[in-house]
Amino acid sequence: DADVTQTPRNRITKTGKRIMLECSQTKGHDRMYWYRQDPGLGLRLIYYSFDVKDINKGEISDGYSVSRQAQAKFSLSLESAIPNQTALYFCATSLSGGEAFFGQGTRLTVV
């Protein structure tokens, strides 16, 4: 089993719909991150969490929200999806900010 698991792997949704992307980890890491990847823009940080009670905005948090349900679970929500949120989304974990381990990614398409 993968250490960092993202669900779903692919999702097509309609504009205005609420959608949740989930991430779970078995590495026991304290820190979890959500990034989005767009061609030519690299990986941009959406939100990050240092522990269950510590949630921080990243570079591009507008239109997104997160929930750290447990140390091992970090979910990303799009309250009202819009087409420019079409992207590849990655969850990552690290131990106290060291090497980051990424999930396989979720390809989200908003139509």
Residues binding other proteins (CB under 8 A): 4, 31, 33, 35, 40-45, 48, 50, 56, 58-59, 90, 92, 94, 96-105
Q: How far is the CB of 80 from other proteins (least distance, A)?
A: 26
Q: How far is the CB of 28 from other proteins (least distance, A)?
A: 16
Of 105, 96, 109, the closest CA to residue 54 belongs to: 96
**Residue with Cβ nearer other proteins (35 or 64):** 35
Q: Is 81 exposed, middle or buried (0-12, 13-18, 19+ CB in 10 A)?
A: buried
Q: Which helix (H) or strand (E) holds 15?
A: none
**Residue with Cβ nearer other proteins (15 or 41):** 41
**Residue with Cβ nearer other proteins (64 or 105):** 105
**Residue with Cβ nearer other proteins (59 or 79):** 59
Q: How far is the CB of 24 from other proteins (least distance, A)?
A: 14
| C-alpha dist (Å) from residue 7 to 18, 42, 59, 97 | 15, 21, 23, 24
